[in-house]
Amino acid sequence: MIDSISVIGGKDKDGAAEAIPLLDIRAGEILAVVGTTGSGKSMLIADIEQWADGETPSQRRILINQMPAGEFADDRVLRGMAAEVSQNMNFVMDMSVKDFLNLHACSRHLEQAEMLAEQVLNYANRLSGEPIGSQDKLTVLSGGQSRALMVADVALISDAPVVLLDELENAGIDRLAALKGLALQNKIVVLVTHDPMLALLADRRVVMKNGGMFKLHSTTPEEKLLLKKLEQSNRQISFWREQLRLGFTVNEEALKQY
Amino acid sequence: MRFIIVSGPPSAGKTAVMIHTIRHLLKDGIKVAACKIDCLKTSDDDNYRALGIPVAVGLSEYLCPDHFFAANLEEIYAWGSYHGAEILILETAGLCHRCAPAVQGCQSICVIDNLSGIDTPQKVGPMLSTADVVLISKGDVVSQAEREVFRQRVEMANPDAAVLSVNGLNGQGSLKLKKIIMESASVNRIEGQELRCSMPAAICSYCTGETMIGSSYQMGNVKKVDFGKFEKMRSKEPLPSSDV
Ligand SMILES: Nc1nc2c(ncn2[C@@H]2O[C@H](COP(=O)(O)OP(=O)(O)O)[C@@H](O)[C@H]2O)c(=O)[nH]1
Ligand SMILES: Nc1ncnc2c1ncn2[C@@H]1O[C@H](COP(=O)(O)OP(=O)(O)O)[C@@H](O)[C@H]1O
Ligand SMILES: [Mg+2]
Ligand SMILES: [Mg+2]
Ligand SMILES: [Zn+2]
Ligand SMILES: [Zn+2]
């Protein structure tokens, strides 16, 4: 059982100690990682993914339940504990969605692979705007469909206690639903994002600068209010997007009705 | 001197990963030399040379690259020693899937990439199964699920190897690889060490320059495909013509 992971700060790009010397993340928490391009967001995620022990350029060390990862479990077990989805990832296997999910479930020696595969597909379809069929080939899925399937698969088949998401905002999936779903499973979710809604949805956010953890901030009640407002205007945007997609035109009456 | 032999399919990321690893070694003041064995052409030597280390290139040209590799190990070892290398990296290319360059006393590293398809770990054969260390590259561009399945296939093909995920672009994993290399044993003499997998026989007419097709041009060690049922059919009736 993972109750928490900790990042012990290392060095930024200039070799100076990181401003945040210690970052604890508890199970069930969503932590956002924000910062400009090149500020080291992906590197922080990569350090967690490989349970860094001072050997990466940042020299960070990752603890599990306050213990060095290497002492907490052996390599093979550790590997299954963090799963990552990033916007660079694509499916490359030439297989149907169903066969692939079965194969993945079997490779993890999970029972009732077929049923699990169906659950993944249902979950993915809740995240994706475009429906995914079980007989669809993996390689013809759109970017949004692929990412939805990856998130669902990571949540249910990889079932890693630590989920790392790198800039999924452009993926065309229902990000908020994806996140809430993951957090409900009591996972640790670390999410690199440029999206203000996702950053505010998180319980805390760490700001990266020049390769180092620069600032750690707990989302305030005011920020949660702002999130409500953003969600509202987002719903408006979604509504009009759909209207225009379906061929509606906007006249005075429609404007009033809305 | 530690003699490290690196193999793997084309474009798996051998050079990219070794460049990152050598940088770490050099930072620690360790003397490294690199040699590249290939068939016809290579530009890898430029990349290694940019590190400011001694670099050699061997091209097998008209010879079988597997045999060329085995026949030159002693000379490559001597070349590395001459340059005072503490670590000699030998990147091999062009070897067939029947062969493996692993030699007793040398650390054998096989690089294989996530993009090459899930059947590749089985297809690569002894190159993978005789390796001490297997590096899996390009995990950054495929899904978590595919990474997991691919790794499982690799572990099935070689249960004894240390398996490491690496990224040739940003060097992820290369510090761990450096550690693994530093923990390997030195080899004091390459002469008398044994190949872990024998080389295939190659003494047919084509080995000596024959270019014509057909049984009447063939001599020596010739093996034919076994077509099973088709073989019996073929002896009874003429082959079905292709220009229907
Ligand atoms: N995305 C990605 N590309 C890689 C990775 N490793 C190597 N490459 C790229 O793959 C190509 C072939 O790499 P190279 O080292 O020349 O392969 P070699 O033929 O095995 O020596 C190069 O363009 C590399 O930049 C990796 O981990 N991820
Ligand atoms: N602490 C650090 N020390 C050294 N290099 C770093 C550090 N953090 C990031 N880098 C390097 O800086 C570059 C940009 O980092 P990256 O994590 O990709 O940024 P982002 O994801 O925020 O765009 C990468 O080449 C990375 O290896
Ligand atoms: Mg990034
Ligand atoms: Mg190369
Ligand atoms: Zn061969
Ligand atoms: Zn021959």
Same domain, B179 and B102: yes
Contact present, A170 and A198 (Cβ < 8 Å): no
Q: Residue B16 domain-assigned?
A: yes
How much is the pLDDT for B238? 57
Q: Which atom of ligand 1 is nearest to the CA of B168?
A: 6
CB B142 to CB A153 under 8 A?
no
> Which neighbouring-strand residues pair with A86?
A166
Distances, alpha carbon A245 to alpha carbons A172, A242, B169, in Å: 15, 5, 40
Supply the Cα-derived Rg of chain B in whole angstroms: 21
Same domain, B167 and B229: no
Same domain, B96 and B38: yes
How much is the pLDDT for B177? 96
Q: Residue B11 domain-assigned?
A: yes
Same domain, B105 and B213: no
CB A108 to CB B148 under 8 A?
yes
Same domain, B122 and B217: no
The average pLDDT across A117-146 equals 90
How much is the pLDDT for B241? 56
> Which neighbouring-strand residues pair with A33?
A192, A206
Tokens 């029972």 label which residue? A111
CB B172 to CB A107 under 8 A?
no
Distances, alpha carbon A83 to alpha carbons A163, A221, B39, B152, in Å: 5, 31, 40, 15
Selecting from A55, A89, A150 the residue whose C-beta is nearest the C-beta of B141 gives: A89
Same domain, B41 and B94: yes
Supply the Cα-derived Rg of chain A in whole angstroms: 20
Same domain, B117 and B64: yes
Same domain, B75 and B134: yes
Q: Give the CATH number, domain containing residue B28.
A: 3.40.50.300
Contact present, A134 and A126 (Cβ < 8 Å): no
Q: Is B173 in the pocket of ligand 1 (CB under 6 A)?
A: no
The average pLDDT across B30-40 equals 94
Q: Is 60 exceeded by the pLDDT of residue A142?
A: yes
CB B140 to CB A88 under 8 A?
yes
Same domain, B96 and B174: yes
Domain span at residue B71 reads: 2-183
CA distance A202 to A211: 21
Q: Is B148 at the interface with chain A, CB within 8 A?
A: yes
The pLDDT tens digits for A63-111 are 999 999 988 988 888 888 999 998 889 999 899 999 999 999 988 888 8
Tokens linked to A136: 């669809």
Q: Residue B196 domain-assigned?
A: no
- In angstroms, what separates the C-alpha of A65 from chain B's closest C-alpha? 23
The pLDDT tens digits for B161-184 are 999 999 999 899 999 999 999 999
Polymer length in residues for chain B: 244
The pLDDT tens digits for A12-58 are 999 999 999 999 999 999 999 999 999 999 999 999 999 999 888 89
ipTM of the complex: 0.80
* Cβ count within 10 A of residue B205: 15
Question: What mean pLDDT is reported for chain B?
Answer: 89
Q: Is B142 in the pocket of ligand 1 (CB under 6 A)?
A: no
Same domain, B114 and B72: yes
Q: Is 90 exceeded by the pLDDT of residue A7?
A: yes
Chain B residues whose beta carbon lies within 8 Å of the beta carbon of residue A108 = 148
Same domain, B102 and B221: no
Distances, alpha carbon A195 to alpha carbons A166, A198, B210, in Å: 12, 5, 66
Nearest CA in chain B to A89: B141
Q: Which of B36, B43, B137, B174 to mutate to test the pocket of ligand 1 (most atoms within 8 A of CB)?
A: B137
Contact present, A43 and A58 (Cβ < 8 Å): yes
Q: Give the class (CATH, top level) of A1-81+161-219.
A: alpha beta
The predicted model scores a pTM of 0.85
The domain tally of chain B equals 2
How much is the pLDDT for B244? 44
How much is the pLDDT for B132? 97
Nearest CA in chain A to B141: A89
